[in-house]
Amino acid sequence: MEMNPHPLVTDDAFREIFHSMSEGIVMVDEGGQIVLANPIAETIFGYSSNELTGLTMEVLVPQNHRGHHAQLRKGFNKHPEPRRMGFGRDLTALKKDGTEFPVEISLSYTRVKGKVLVMAFISDISERKKSEEALKRSEEQLIIYAAELERKVQSRTEALHKTIRELEKEVIERKRAEEETRKALEKEREFNDLKTKFVSIASHEFRTPLSTILSSIALVEQYKQRNDLDKIDKHTARVRSSVEHLTAILNDFLSLGRLEEGKVEVINEMIPMESFFHDLIEEVKPSLKKDQHVLLHLKTEVTAFTDARILRNILFNLISNASKYSEEGKNIEIHVSADSKSLSIAIEDHGIGIPEEDHKHLFERFFRAGNVSNIQGTGLGLNIVRRYIELLKGDITFESEYKKGSTFTVLIPLNA
Ligand code: ADP
């Protein structure tokens, strides 16, 4: 390529470097006139060979920066130093055809014959900018994607949490339903058990009193012909006692049925204890054994606010047991006392007692201790008693010494 060297450019080696550089180089004199541009510079700016030489360098600066640029150039001439141009901002340059394009420019200088010759090393960074922008765009896109993704993850997580919550609810609901079904089945099973037990107890427990009744009636017939009134009385009493026994069993089953169905209603009222106990003792007298008496130890007059019918059933049951599990002539003692909170009724007998190992099962339905096999009973009474006491919000405890006697103590809250 033919060069048109300026008189200031003399060095061949310098010219060689100048040509082979991959950056565009434009050399400018102090007045801002282009002294020399290498071929790359000409290509970058769209000028033909040598066309730039002699032009003012401001032709390469976009119109709106020109005035300012001339200013900067003068400043640089005064204190020249190698540096990058336009540091920290985007530089653009102007092509011959008027298009602006991004550039990176480093400035350097040399002194030739006392004159400052400025060298601008110019790179067209259009491609880099394009890829930077593309990168920026894809980064932005990425951020949008990430945000979108996060939003999706969040909404999915929420949906998941919701599903989990619903599932948990369903599990709880199902468990509840299962529990209910289990309870219903359990109840049904218990009820069937009860029916089976009833049939077996009825057939066993009813047989003796019924055959007693039958034989006693037959005997009464005979004694009537012989006019033996004593024997008639004896057998009439037997019939009565057998009927009472049957009634007691039926009553127990009836009570249990009503308790099971939750049909027992508590109706509290003010009850003076002294008259209550006198009535109760009168009522229980006919079923006591020979020479058995109920002795009442009532220290002070107490009035309890409770359900008289239920309390009567509880105590009737306990006194009947005390009599049943004691021999003839053994008295039953009732100790009544009260403090500010509760009424305490202890029923003490001097009977057969309860073997230690049976204590823990005593209130279980159908349970009978090991020492009572020859005494009639169903094992229902104490279970009924305990459930009645629960209805009255009371409590029952007992103490017993084998072959010596037992004391059952009922506690009834006074202001239930
Ligand atoms: P039942 O008297 O019909 O057998 P209960 O439920 O009333 O049934 O009593 C359960 C068991 O507790 C009795 O079988 C008996 O072994 C024992 N028991 C209850 N009260 C007494 C008592 N006063 N003395 C001795 N044992 C008793």
200 CA → ligand 1 middle, Å: 19
Q: Report yes or no on 55 lying in a domain.
A: yes
Ligand 1 site residues, Cβ closer than 6 angstroms: 321-322, 325, 349, 351-354, 362, 367-369, 372, 377-383, 406
Ramachandran angles phi, psi of 333, nearest 5° = -115, 135
253 & 321 share domain? no
Q: What is the model's pTM?
A: 0.59
- Residue 408, domain CATH: 3.30.565.10
**Among the three residues 106, 124, 142, which one is the final residue of a domain in this structure?**
124
Q: Report yes or no on 244 lying in a domain.
A: yes
385 CA → ligand 1 middle, Å: 11
Q: Report yes or no on 3 lying in a domain.
A: no
What's the angle, vertex CA 218, arms to CA 214 and CA 221, rounded to 5? 145
Q: Per-residue pLDDT for 1 more than 90?
A: no
220 & 166 share domain? yes
241 & 356 share domain? no
Q: Report yes or no on 2 lying in a domain.
A: no
Q: Atom 14 in ligand 1: which residue has the minimum CA distance? A: 368
The per-residue pLDDT for range 12-64, each reduced to its tens digit, is: 766 777 788 888 999 999 889 999 999 999 999 999 999 999 999 999 999 98
Q: How far is CA 32 from the centre of its chain?
A: 83
CA pair distance 102, 181, nearest whole angstrom: 81
Query: Which of 308, 276, 281, 311 is CA-nearest to residue 294?
Result: 281
Q: Per-residue pLDDT for 3 more than 70?
A: no
Tokens of 130: 């394009």
207 & 309 share domain? no
Q: Which residues, at least 6 apart from 204, have a Cβ–Cβ distance to it below 8 Å? A: none
CA dihedral of residues 48, 53, 56, 61 (deg, nearest 10): 40
From 40-44, 190-194, 238-242, the region with the lowest mean pLDDT: 190-194
Ramachandran angles phi, psi of 223, nearest 5° = -65, -25
274 & 409 share domain? yes
245 & 165 share domain? yes
367 CA → ligand 1 middle, Å: 8
pLDDT score at 2? 47
Domain interval for residue 380: 269-413
321 CA → ligand 1 middle, Å: 6
278 & 407 share domain? yes
- Count of other CB atoms within 10 angstroms of residue 335: 16
**Among the three residues 124, 149, 173, which one is the final residue of a domain in this structure?**
124
- Count of other CB atoms within 10 angstroms of residue 229: 10
263 CA → ligand 1 middle, Å: 25
Q: Report yes or no on 5 lying in a domain.
A: no
368 CA → ligand 1 middle, Å: 6
63 & 143 share domain? no
Query: Which of 13, 55, 19, 60 is CA-nearest to residue 40?
Result: 19
Mutate which of 250, 253, 256, 325 for ligand 1? The one with the most ligand atoms within 8 Å of its CB, which is: 325
- Residue 176, domain CATH: 1.20.120
The per-residue pLDDT for range 166-175, each reduced to its tens digit, is: 999 999 999 9
Tokens of 238: 């037997």
196 & 116 share domain? no
Q: Report yes or no on 7 lying in a domain.
A: no
**Among the three residues 78, 109, 124, which one is the final residue of a domain in this structure?**
124
| Ligand 1 nearest atom to the CA of residue 379, by list position | 8
Q: Report yes or no on 67 lying in a domain.
A: yes
Tell me how far apart the terminal alpha carbons of the chain are, to the nearest angstrom: 122
113 & 197 share domain? no
Q: Which residues, at least 6 apart from 89, have a Cβ–Cβ distance to it below 8 Å? A: none
Number of domains in the chain: 3
| Ligand 1 nearest atom to the CA of residue 383, by list position | 6
319 & 409 share domain? yes
- Residue 112, domain CATH: 3.30.450.20
159 & 53 share domain? no
pLDDT score at 376? 86
The per-residue pLDDT for range 273-321, each reduced to its tens digit, is: 999 999 999 999 988 999 999 999 998 788 899 999 999 999 999 999 9
Mutate which of 255, 354, 396 for ligand 1? The one with the most ligand atoms within 8 Å of its CB, which is: 354
Q: Report yes or no on 6 lying in a domain.
A: no
